[in-house]
Amino acid sequence: VSPVVALRPGVLQDPAVVTEIERRMARAGLRWTRARRTVLESVAAAPAPRSVPELQEAIGRDVPLSSLYRVIGDLVAARILIKLEFAEGFARFELDEELAAHHHHLVCTRCGAVADVELHEFEGALTDAARTVQRRTGFAVSMHRLDFFGVCSTCARD
């Protein structure tokens, strides 16, 4: 899929975001290392959730696989990254929504690519839905995820 909507291209240039990341690192007792900075920059630069092999490819052998997994795990635990799965058999990772922007995913069932979209005009309805769930079932909703599946424009052309 072509990156339909690139979300906050330079989040890591935004001092407020960097400050909040540092706050979360500190709260989790994590040190600010080269490997963590590299991984974070790589995830933040991507227009859509990244898989471990994709990050490995982007980063190079600087960060070996096991360290990559460990770094990612730490960043997820610190609530800086979020782990996603799209029934591909492996996980993808993106910046936590409070650090980036709330958005949804377009998953192409033909080529497997994942892109991001923002749908501001529907967030109200989604919030209402969450409240309804909570009232009706007692389940305390803290966040939601809306993904669309279909065929991306690139695949449709062929």
The dihedral region occupied by 8, where left means phi > 0, alpha psi between -120 and 50, and beta the remainder, is left
* 1 burial via Cβ count (<10 Å: 0-12, 13-18, 19+): buried
Indicate whether 29 belongs to the interface with DNA (CB under 7 A). yes
* Ramachandran quadrant class, 89 (left: phi over 0; alpha: psi -120 to 50; beta: rest): left
Among a second copy, DNA, none, residue 120 binds (CB under 5-8 Å by kind): none
Is residue 56 a contact residue for DNA (CB under 7 A)?
A: no
The H or E element containing residue 82 is: strand 81-85
> Which does residue 73 touch among a second copy, DNA, none (CB within 5 to 8 A, set by kind)?
DNA
CB of 9 to DNA, least distance (A): 25
Using CB under 7 A, which of 67, 84, 118, 129 touches DNA? 67
List contacts with DNA (CB under 7 A): 29-36, 51-53, 62-67, 69-71, 73-74, 89-91
